[in-house]
């Protein structure tokens, strides 16, 4: 499941078509997410990511994690623990 979320966010950032990945994400989390609001947010994601200095054409999973942690301002030691947990399921 996490891989579909990662692909959806990465493709949205690179302005690629992500309909299939979004559909899979919504199958699992559809009750918890507003699909229309999420689609609107995904449309703005490339501009937000670029404004933070990321290269949206080469945006990868490490950039994705860095972006979200910058948004949340999570301390570095927490970042390391959460990244290790995430990597265990995604790689």
Extents of the domains making up the chain:
2-90
**pLDDT at res. 2:** 72
pLDDT at 19: 93
Mean pLDDT score, 30-57? 84
The rounded percent of the chain whose pLDDT value lies above 90 is 9
- List the beta strands (DSSP E) in 2-62: none
- Above 50 in pLDDT, residue 79? no
Position 84 pLDDT exceeds 50: yes
What integer best gives the mean pLDDT of the chain? Answer: 76
Closest by Cα among 47, 52, 62, 37 to 15: 47
In this predicted structure, what is the pLDDT of residue 82? Answer: 54
pLDDT at res. 91: 47
Nearest 5 degrees, angle CA 89-CA 70-CA 28?
A: 40
Token digits for 47? 């501009």
Q: In the predicted model, is pLDDT for residue 85 greater than 90?
A: no
d(CA 45, CA 71): 12
């Amino acid at each position: 499941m996490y891989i579909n979320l990662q692909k959806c966010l990465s493709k949205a950032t690179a302005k690629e078509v992500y309909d299939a990945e979004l559909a899979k994400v919504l199958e699992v989390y559809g009750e918890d997410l507003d699909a229309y609001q999420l689609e609107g947010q995904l449309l703005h994601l490339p501009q937000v990511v670029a404004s933070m200095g990321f290269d949206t054409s080469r945006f990868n999973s490490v950039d994705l994690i860095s972006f979200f942690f910058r948004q949340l301002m999570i301390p570095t030691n927490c970042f390391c623990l959460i990244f290790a947990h995430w990597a265990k399921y995604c790689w």
